[in-house]
Amino acid sequence: DAKTTQPPSMDCAEGRAANLPCNHSTISGNEYVYWYRQIHSQGPQYIIHGLKNNETNEMASLIITEDRKSSTLILPHATLRDTAVYYCIVRASNEKLTFGTGTRLTIIP
Amino acid sequence: DTAVSQTPKYLVTQMGNDKSIKCEQNLGHDTMYWYKQDSKKFLKIMFSYNNKELIINETVPNRFSPKSPDKAHLNLHINSLELGDSAVYFCASGGTDSFEQYFGPGTRLTVT
């Protein structure tokens, strides 16, 4: 029941910015956009979330389009340790997290 | 300073057995969760507890019973294990007003 669409895989050169797209055309006004990632064999890790405005933290930036129907997660300087599956999730604050299939990001040395 | 811990990390057992997985969080969060990740890597929520009260109970066989003795612990007991129960089980916690969930390292359950 994931409400998002992501490309199944992407590659990015080490040191470059990784831009991961996500479509969420049916997002509701009270739903936030979340990004989590799962490095091989580990538990998912929260990255960032946003509602309308672009957000930035120490891990990444989140760019949300004005109509909120899509967003992009940006890892500004990708390292090999950023190789993981990245999940884009839309969720209202009192709802459960529903993980889709995500994007498998591979950082190429 | 492990935030969310699970034991055991690996669990191999035979069909029909009963087993438990333990989870503890030291983050002071009110809400704890159990997720299941199957062999195809789909990650699905199973249960959610808030202050020891069951909040979310997805379509999970009643062989699975969560137990929350206190706010910091949420254990998962599984009766009459089946082959299809083989998966990685993740515990997570989150604050009532927090947008983040913190996941444990997972327990890989193999039923033979």
What are the strands of the beta sheet with A84-92, ordered from one edge? A9-13, A103-108, A84-92, A31-38, A45-50
Residues 6 or more apart whose CB falls under 8 angstroms from that of A38 comprise: A44, A45, A84, A85, A87, A102, B43
Average pLDDT over residues B23-39: 93
Asked if pLDDT for residue B5 goes beyond 70, the answer is yes
Average pLDDT over residues B8-12: 97
Output the average pLDDT for chain A: 93
pLDDT score recorded for residue B27:
92
> Which residue in chain A is spatially nearest to B104 when comparing CA positions?
A43
For B40-50, the pLDDT digits (tens) are 888 999 988 88
For B48-97, the pLDDT digits (tens) are 888 778 887 777 899 999 999 998 999 999 999 999 999 999 999 997 66
Q: Within a 10 A sphere around the Cβ of A52, how many other Cβ atoms?
A: 12
Of A42, A44, A93, the CB nearest to B43: A44
Average pLDDT over residues A49-71: 95
Nearest to A44 by CA among A109, A107, A97, A106: A97
Beta strands in B14-79 (DSSP E): 19-25, 31-37, 43-50, 53-57, 64-70, 73-78
Beta bridge partners of B88: B37, B108
Mutate to test the interface with B, among A35, A38, A40, A55 (most CBs of B within 10 A): A38
Q: A78 and A15 in contact (C-beta within 8 Å)?
A: yes
pLDDT score recorded for residue A2:
59
Average pLDDT over residues A1-17: 91
Average pLDDT over residues A85-107: 90
Residue B90 to residue A44, Cβ atoms within 8 A:
yes
Burial class (CB in 10 A: 0-12, 13-18, 19+), A28: exposed
**Chain B residues near residue A42 by CB distance under 8 angstroms:** 105-106
pLDDT score recorded for residue B99:
77
For A98-107, the pLDDT digits (tens) are 888 999 999 9
* Distance separating alpha carbons of residues A40 and A56, to the nearest angstrom: 25
Nearest to B55 by CA among A2, A99, A94: A94
**Chain B residues near residue A96 by CB distance under 8 angstroms:** 45, 48, 56
Average pLDDT over residues A67-88: 97
Closest-CA distance of chain B to residue A42, Å: 5
Asked if pLDDT for residue B6 goes beyond 90, the answer is yes
Confidence class for position A1, pLDDT limits 50, 70, 90: low
pLDDT score recorded for residue A88:
96
Asked if pLDDT for residue A36 goes beyond 90, the answer is yes
Residue A96 to residue B48, Cβ atoms within 8 A:
yes
